[in-house]
Amino acid sequence: MKSLDIAKSPDPGWTRPAWREALDRWWDRLLTSERFYRWSVSNPLTRWITQRRSRQVFDLMAGFVYSQILLACVRLGIFQRVQEQPQTLRSLAQHTDIGEAALQRLLDSAVALRLLTLRGDQRYGLGPLGAPVAAFPGIQAMIEHHATLYQDMQDPVALLRDALVSPQMNGYWPYVSNPDVARQPQAPQERFQRYSNLMSASQPFVVDEILSAYAFDDHQRVLDVGGGQGTFLSRLAHHAPHLQLHLFDLPPVVQLAEQNFARQGLSARTQTSGGSFLTDALPPGADLVTLIRVAHDHPDHHVLTVLKSIYRALPAGGTLLLAEPMAQEGGRQPQGDAYFHFYLLAMGSGRLRTPHELSTLMQQAGFCMIETVPTQIPLHAQILLGRKSKCLP
């Protein structure tokens, strides 16, 4: 049985005034009334609102079909092919070994979803939404990986009841089902490699957000906790050549990071330490610790353990930079929230937290002067900074 934390309401005493409650109920009745629907589509002033809502409901209903069309295009290498040059149905049928009639349905669906466009002479080219998929291997890797997630999501009620017959996502992340797995002599190296490759492929978007939002000039030494194969530190090494770099992760992952640093000629500037941040002390010496896409994988009490350990490892005046996707608060577009809530549910550990919840955990661990750093695309990651006070106790 999974043990999941419950998110606490930031304002448990919040109630709506009675008049607002009555208004909401009247509005619900109106929106669910067939007469009102007919009136609103026949009225030229309101029709666009009803049309837009109908499209939105249709998209919700059809979302799985859209995702599978995207997956088919990725698996068949269609984006790469049309990126080289626009292709006819016949040439794509030869390339994919799929009959023209069936493939035409896929390609026309992809055009409808703006993944492809028609380019004249009955050729298909990249569409505005297919272009980023073609350009970024990390998006393709995540689309492939979603095949695993969607197996668990085929029965969302069983997933919610923790009653899936053969859950897939939980096994994909070995440290989730067994935090001690990396210590076992038979640690499944290929499973650590598989998720580390995926993380490395999908990390560039997050790294871009961090490098464009935070100035590293005043730091000397950075420790990346849960740093995976070292993709962030490798980029940081080029971005800020004055920095010394240290990576901490589970021992099988650290091996991969060392190979990566050696391949890039970064061994002299980087140090690695293997261990578990739940049981081992973190190496001291860094004046900045980064924690990127780690907290959301873990329950609150584990996050608190890691944060306290980071606090102990930092010198007075040291900084923690925590970056990951966070739940939207304050009425902003909650884009991405539904995805991450269910991704982490299927994974079986952790949860998407608001910046407020993470700040509270950071405060409990001892950090002060906690601030949010604005990012360009919050869907990729939001950033929190916390400091270890220089004040004497």
Ligand X SMILES: C[S@@+](CC[C@H](N)C(=O)[O-])C[C@H]1O[C@@H](n2cnc3c(N)ncnc32)[C@H](O)[C@@H]1O
CB-nearer residue toward ligand X: 106 or 207: 207
**Residue 253 makes contact with ligand X by CB under 6 A:** yes
From 248-256, 308-316, 335-343, 362-370, span contacting ligand X (CB under 6 A)? 248-256
**Scanning residues 348 to 387, which ones bind ligand X (CB under 6 A)?**
none
DSSP alpha helix (H) spans, the chain: 18-31, 34-42, 47-75, 78-84, 89-96, 100-112, 130-135, 137-153, 156-160, 169-172, 174-177, 189-202, 204-213, 231-239, 251-263, 300-313, 337-347, 355-365
54 contacts: CB under 8 Å, gap ≥ 6: none
CB-nearer residue toward ligand X: 237 or 294: 294
From 10-18, 97-105, 246-254, 354-362, span contacting ligand X (CB under 6 A)? 246-254
Q: Which of 175, 214, 311, 340 binds ligand X (CB under 6 A)?
A: 175
From 14-22, 126-134, 220-228, 364-372, span contacting ligand X (CB under 6 A)? 220-228
CB-nearer residue toward ligand X: 126 or 139: 139
CB of 8 to ligand X, least distance (A): 24
CB of 250 to ligand X, least distance (A): 5
N-terminal to C-terminal alpha carbon distance within the chain:
43
Q: How far, rounded to the nearest angstrom, does the alpha carbon of residue 101 sit from its chain's CA centroid? A: 36
Find tokens 């929106």 and name the residue.
31
Q: How far apart are CA 18 and CA 28, in angstroms?
A: 15
CB-nearer residue toward ligand X: 179 or 285: 179
Contact 285, 221 (CB under 8 A): yes
CB-nearer residue toward ligand X: 92 or 225: 225
CB-nearer residue toward ligand X: 117 or 197: 197
**Residue 138 makes contact with ligand X by CB under 6 A:** no
Interface pattern 19-48 for ligand X (x via CB under 6 A): ------------------------------
CB of 42 to ligand X, least distance (A): 51
Q: Which of 86, 127, 138, 227 binds ligand X (CB under 6 A)?
A: 227
**Residue 228 makes contact with ligand X by CB under 6 A:** yes
Hey, what's the torsion of the CAs at 236, 380, 77, 232, to 10 degrees? 20
Q: Which of 159, 223, 236, 250 binds ligand X (CB under 6 A)?
A: 250
Beta-carbon neighbour count of residue 25 at 10 Å?
A: 10
114: which 2 tokens? 């703006």
Q: How far apart are CA 79 and CA 107, in angstroms?
A: 11
CB-nearer residue toward ligand X: 81 or 380: 380
CB-nearer residue toward ligand X: 98 or 278: 278
CB-nearer residue toward ligand X: 86 or 325: 325
Q: Report the b/e string of 172-199 with b at 16+ CB within 10 A.
A: bbbbbeebebbeeeeeeeebbeebbebb
Taken as a whole, the chain contains a residue count of 393
Q: Which of 152, 249, 258, 300 binds ligand X (CB under 6 A)?
A: 249
Q: Bridge partners of 225? A: 248, 291
Residue type, 374: P
**Scanning residues 266 to 305, which ones bind ligand X (CB under 6 A)?**
276-278, 292-294, 297
**Residue 201 makes contact with ligand X by CB under 6 A:** no
Find tokens 């980071």 and name the residue.
310
281: which 2 tokens? 């002390």
From 66-74, 133-141, 199-207, 333-341, span contacting ligand X (CB under 6 A)? 199-207
**Residue 226 makes contact with ligand X by CB under 6 A:** yes
- The count of chain residues that interact with ligand X, using the rule CB under 6 A, is 19
- Does the CA dihedral 330-334-336-341 come out positive or negative? positive
CB-nearer residue toward ligand X: 72 or 373: 373
Q: Using CB under 6 A as the criterion, which residues of the chain lie in contact with ligand X when the complex forms?
A: 175, 179, 196, 199, 203, 206, 226-228, 249-250, 253, 276-278, 292-294, 297
